[in-house]
Amino acid sequence: MQNREICADIPKVSIIIPVFNGSNYLREAIDSALAQTYSNVEVLVVNDGSDDGGKTEKIALSYGDRIRYFKKENGGVASALNTGIRNMDGEYFSWLSHDDVYYPHKIEREVEAVLQCGDPARIVQCEYDFYEESSKTYTPTDFYKYYTIEQLTNSVFTVLQLQIHACGALISKKHFERVGLFDESRRYTQDVEMWFRLLNGQKSIWVSEKLYMVRVHSESDSKHYYNAWNQENVLLYLEIMQKMSNQELASIYGTAETALCRIIGLIRSRDGLEEAGILEKRLYECYRRSDHQEDIDCFKGYLRGLSGGQDKKIIIFGAGQYGLRLLYELRQRQIAVDCFIDNDPGKSGKIIGGIICRAVEDLTDRKEEVLIVIAQRVCTEAIRQMQVSGFPHIITRQELDGVLIQYAPQQ
């Protein structure tokens, strides 16, 4: 915005920060919200019943009337967000997790995008950075490099891709009148379930600029409640897929098989074998009616191209959820994976997903024979490790994925 002064034709944006025991990071989050270059913002901090001896409240109260502060009994993130929405004065909603950080132009860029598109109700999404606190490294998303803008803005593509993040969206308050508020019965998936309701059948806007930082750290809820978080995600994604017809999936991915394969891999990686089996029956029925062998042959040719025109053994670096998802998708495209490698010594020698996991050092004499696919959310350090170790053929899951989904799977 050229005019930084608050005026009637600049819509107000409400930045809502839900927080529970957030004294470690809350100040940095609030400061980033107050430092926005866009002038017409309000910052609402909702304390969801923190029990940290008043540390979180003390930080919030220190800002005085620069923010609006609400305190409630603990009810989960969804209930805190709903408290903020019910009390917001802005025309637009923007969520900021208490442990993440907005870059200064976040709100300005997104308001510019929605006003320029001519549809003030259009939802805005953007790129972001993952910050790995332990290694102090940044991994940018760069989705715009790997997917077309048409894909990124088409209905629930970014929801099914697990690309949309809580803090990235700018949402007109009118959408909550259309679809309702956050589902307070969901402790871990309230964001994904809401994005599905908001974006299903809608066109959005994509800002190809990193506008905020997602902090990856040991205190996040998903690490403390890993099993419950996994189970709730499994059930939600099964529910989402059951609500969508094959025709709807094909309109987003090109084929229903591609979408089904993607979500089955996700569910299986989170130990939802029974739920994955339900969707696999649907996938195999699609296979029975389709022939995508030409796609498989083209994808195999692409992999050869990554290795100087030669067939290399495929090695997945990362035997966690991202690696397991990739393993399933490659198998469904008739691509054999030789093994996993992982820096976790506890995984070395174990059979994971039906193949062995080895230590990185085990490949020292095979560097020219393999194509390494790094399957980690935060991959900057892994890329550096492979390059320093002298592996000539490396690609990240993020880079590979944009090509992978262009080629439908085949049983």
219 pLDDT above the threshold of 70: no
222-274: pLDDT as tens digits: 555 678 889 999 999 999 999 999 999 999 999 999 999 999 999 999 999 99
3 pLDDT above the threshold of 60: no
135-153: pLDDT as tens digits: 888 999 999 999 999 999 9
- Rounded CA separation 313/172 (Å): 49
The stretch 127-139 carries a mean pLDDT of 90
* pTM of structure: 0.91
- Report CA Rg, the chain: 22
- The pLDDT of residue 1: 40
- The pLDDT of residue 227: 85
The stretch 25-36 carries a mean pLDDT of 98
CA atoms within 13 A on the CB side of 281: 7
The stretch 386-393 carries a mean pLDDT of 94
| % of the chain exceeding 90 in pLDDT | 89
The stretch 147-175 carries a mean pLDDT of 95
- The pLDDT of residue 400: 95
280-337: pLDDT as tens digits: 999 999 999 999 999 999 999 999 999 888 899 999 999 999 999 999 999 999 999 9
- Rounded CA separation 368/233 (Å): 39
364 pLDDT above the threshold of 80: yes
The stretch 2-23 carries a mean pLDDT of 79
- The pLDDT of residue 134: 84
Complete domains list, the chain, with CATH: 13-223 (3.90.550.10), 226-289 (no CATH), 294-404 (3.40.50.720)
- The pLDDT of residue 55: 97
- The pLDDT of residue 51: 97
4 pLDDT above the threshold of 50: no
Please return the burial class of 197, using the count of CB atoms within 10 Å of its CB with bins 0-12, 13-18 and 19+. middle
184 pLDDT above the threshold of 80: yes
30 pLDDT above the threshold of 80: yes
| HEC letters along the chain | CCCCCCCCCCCCEEEEEEECCCCCCHHHHHHHHHCCCCCCEEEEEEEECCCCCCHHHHHHHCCHHHCEEEEECCCCHHHHHHHHHHHCCCCEEEECCCCCEECCCHHHHHHHHHHHHCCCCCCEEEEEEEEECCCCEEEECCHHHHCCHHHHCECCHHHHCCCCCCCCCEEECHHHHHHCCCCCCCCCCHHHHHHHHHHCCCECEEEEEEEEEEEECCCCHHHHCHHHHHHHHHHHHHHHHHHCCHHHHHHHHCCHHHHHHHHHHHHHHCCCHHHHHHHHHHHHHHHHHCCCHHHHHHHHHHHHHCCCCCCCEEEEECCCHHHHHHHHHHHCCCCCEEEEECCCCCCCCCEECCEEEECHHHHHHHHHHEEEEECCCCCHHHHHHHHHHCCCCEEEHHHHHHHHCCCCCCC
- The pLDDT of residue 2: 39
- The pLDDT of residue 271: 93
